[in-house]
Chains A and B, each alone.
Chain A
Amino acid sequence: MPDTKKVNYLAEAWLVLTLAVSFGAALAGVHLALNDGIQTNKRNETYDQIPRLIPGANKDRVEAGAFSVDVGGAVVERTFYRALAPDGKTTMGYMLRSSGMGYVDKIEVLIGVDVKVKNITGLYVLAQIETPGLGSRIRTKDFVSQFIAKSTTRAIFAMKTAQPPESNDIQAITSATISSQSVCSIVNRSVREFREYLDASIQRELALEHIPEMFPGVSREQIIDIPSGKQVVYKVLDADGRVIAWVGDGKRMGRWDRVELLVAVDADAQTITKVHVVDQRERYWKKVVKAGYLDSFVGKHAGKIVMVKPKIEPAEQQVQAVTKATITSMAICRIVNEVVRRLKRSVADVQGGAAVKER
């Protein structure tokens, strides 16, 4: 009985099975034949934009990369493309692929940034379904070209009025302020994410660029980076090869955005010798500078420093917070403490290691 049933099933279904198998084979064939071309098409859709967004770049000299970011608890993969110079090594700039919510639905953009991620070199809207005639004008050249040459160190805003060329803001599309602002926010966020990702390498670039500012006369060759856990500290030598300082960098959220500092200690890691600002976007920064807050760290012993309220006279190992900028002041104080702790540890490691070697 079971046998006859089986046979019946086969008799009923042989046509379906045969068709399924032959269709499967046909589809496999189609896939084999066309897949390469489809992949090239997909790649070209993005790659065709590279010469437009990164001046001087060629779409054949591109490396794709990806990094993941944490967006409200969800891990999202972001793609970026590195455009290479004709020598095949030097980076000419990056193109970031990113997306975010617009007025109607998700907007996908490609953002070109220069090699230091300091200026925007181009913007292209890949996909959007904003209101036709209003929000959809974010695609127009008039709108996207406004982003070119804007600095990434300050957030870009969409304003209702025309902006002078030196302003870091853009003019929103009339009656489509939300779509316009969405594009700005996507650009701001994506560039920040990318900067954070590139921190490891850019950090080094920035540090190498800023350390000569802290110690005039020091050339790049006199700065030696030493890995310290996940981070790096820098040993600064004088012309004779003696250590004049150890420098470390640290960053932390201030009142408005990230504050990034370089802190230097002397060769024995006993005294703080310099506090240098790499990047900040604080609104009351002028007050901080005017109060000489950063200089108040100089000369303190390289140990824990406590910040006191503006009205209290600071004792030894204490600094006085700046009126109306206490949160910024607190952030700076914490950064200094962190960096100094790290520097002391690194210096101890290095000197300890050297001592062992000598023995």
Chain B
Amino acid sequence: MASDGPTAGERFLRGLIPENPVYRQLLGMCPTLAVTGGMKTAMTMAGAVAFVLICANVLTSLIRNLLKPHLRILVFTLTIAAFVTIADRVLAYAMYDMSQELGPYIPLIIVNCVIICRCEVCASKQSVVVAASDAAGQSIGFAMALASIAAVREILGSGTFFGLRVMPEAWPNWGIMVMPPGAFLTLGLLLGLANWIGAVREKRSGAV
């Protein structure tokens, strides 16, 4: 079946910035706020989401011709839940500390809208290659967004980056940054920044 719609390359590139899941679509806010206190947790979360997203997208794309329209959400949820459980178990096996620290947020990937949204928008309509590159693009976009927030919060809040000291010893930790208010403030300010950059670029391209 010939896929109509964007090509694989387009899908991939769109996921990075123009359709960034966090900064453009405002999806997956729960992990974005909850696990970005440090880079380690944020990147583990991004990895888990990438695994689930790519697997779910590929599988959904493979079975897209068999889908009954009114049962598709059920199939998506089932698929995602299965992969999330696998990701959860593998984390507990390989990175026990991280899995303890992330706690319920790994199982909560099941309700992360980014994944079901990609299944619905892309994977259930387009070929496996397109779906896979779309998932990869979205995952990288999600990871970049989490990294940007987590970097700000960890550096200001703990003076470290990936647990390594980057600020001088005398650096006073900004306690608020590792607490929930810090997550909201950072996300809000970075969202504003992203919008501002977007607006400036649009103006420039309009002027040219």
Contacts of A12 in B (CB 8 A): 68, 71
**Closest A residue by C-beta to B158:** A132
Complex: A26 Cα to B67 Cα, angstroms: 21
Interface check A20, CB cutoff 8 A: yes
Question: Looking at the complex, which of B4-12, B88-96, B113-121, B197-205 is the stretch in contact with chain A?
Answer: B88-96
Residues 140-171 of B at the A interface (beta carbon under 8 Å): 157
| Contact call B71/A15, Cβ cutoff below 8 A | yes
| Contact call B90/A41, Cβ cutoff below 8 A | no
| Contact call A38/B175, Cβ cutoff below 8 A | no
**Closest A residue by C-beta to B87:** A30
Question: Whole-angstrom distance from the CB of A237 to the nearest CB of chain B?
Answer: 56
| Contact call B92/A27, Cβ cutoff below 8 A | no
| Contact call B71/A133, Cβ cutoff below 8 A | no
| Contact call A15/B75, Cβ cutoff below 8 A | yes
| Contact call A34/B74, Cβ cutoff below 8 A | no
| Contact call B86/A27, Cβ cutoff below 8 A | yes
> What mask results when residues 74 to 87 of chain B are scored 1 for a CB within 8 Å of chain A, else 0?
11001101100110
| Secondary structure of the A contact surface, majority rule | helix
| Contact call A45/B86, Cβ cutoff below 8 A | no
Residues 109-160 of A at the B interface (beta carbon under 8 Å): 131-134
| Contact call B82/A23, Cβ cutoff below 8 A | yes
The answer to whether residues A41 and B96 also contact, given A23-B82, A34-B89 and a CB cut-off of 8 A, is yes
Contacts of B86 in A (CB 8 A): 26-27, 30
Interface check A359, CB cutoff 8 A: no
Interface check A64, CB cutoff 8 A: no
Contacts of B81 in A (CB 8 A): 23
What is the number of residues of chain B that contact chain A, defined by CB distance less than 8 Å? 24
| Secondary structure of the B contact surface, majority rule | helix
> What mask results when residues 36 to 71 of chain B are scored 1 for a CB within 8 Å of chain A, else 0?
000000000000000000000000000100111001
Complex: A23 Cα to B82 Cα, angstroms: 6
What is the number of residues of chain A that contact chain B, defined by CB distance less than 8 Å? 22
The answer to whether residues A31 and B89 also contact, given A15-B63, A15-B71, A20-B78 and a CB cut-off of 8 A, is yes
Interface check A37, CB cutoff 8 A: yes
Residues 9-41 of A at the B interface (beta carbon under 8 Å): 12-13, 15-16, 19-20, 23, 26-27, 30-31, 34, 37-38, 41
Complex: A134 Cα to B75 Cα, angstroms: 48
Interface check A286, CB cutoff 8 A: no
Interface check B186, CB cutoff 8 A: no
Contacts of B66 in A (CB 8 A): 15
Which residue in B74, B89, B100 is a CB contact (below 8 Å) of A16?
Answer: B74
Complex: A37 Cα to B90 Cα, angstroms: 10
The answer to whether residues A34 and B90 also contact, given A19-B75, A20-B78, A42-B96 and a CB cut-off of 8 A, is yes
Contacts of A23 in B (CB 8 A): 78-79, 81-82
> What mask results when residues 274 to 303 of chain A are scored 1 for a CB within 8 Å of chain B, else 0?
000000000000000000000000000000
Interface check B22, CB cutoff 8 A: no
Which residue in A15, A20, A27, A133 is a CB contact (below 8 Å) of B85?
Answer: A27
Complex: A134 Cα to B74 Cα, angstroms: 47
| Contact call B79/A133, Cβ cutoff below 8 A | no
Question: Whole-angstrom distance from the CB of A172 to the nearest CB of chain B?
Answer: 19
Chain B CB within 10 A, most for which of A12, A20, A30: A30
| Contact call A132/B175, Cβ cutoff below 8 A | yes
Complex: A38 Cα to B178 Cα, angstroms: 29
| Contact call A37/B93, Cβ cutoff below 8 A | yes
Complex: A42 Cα to B79 Cα, angstroms: 28
List 6 A-B residue pairs with CB atoms under 8 Å apart, sorted by A's residue number.
Answer: A15-B75, A20-B78, A27-B82, A27-B86, A34-B90, A133-B173
Which 6 A-B residue pairings sit nearest by Cβ, starting from the closest? A41-B96, A23-B82, A133-B175, A34-B93, A37-B93, A38-B92
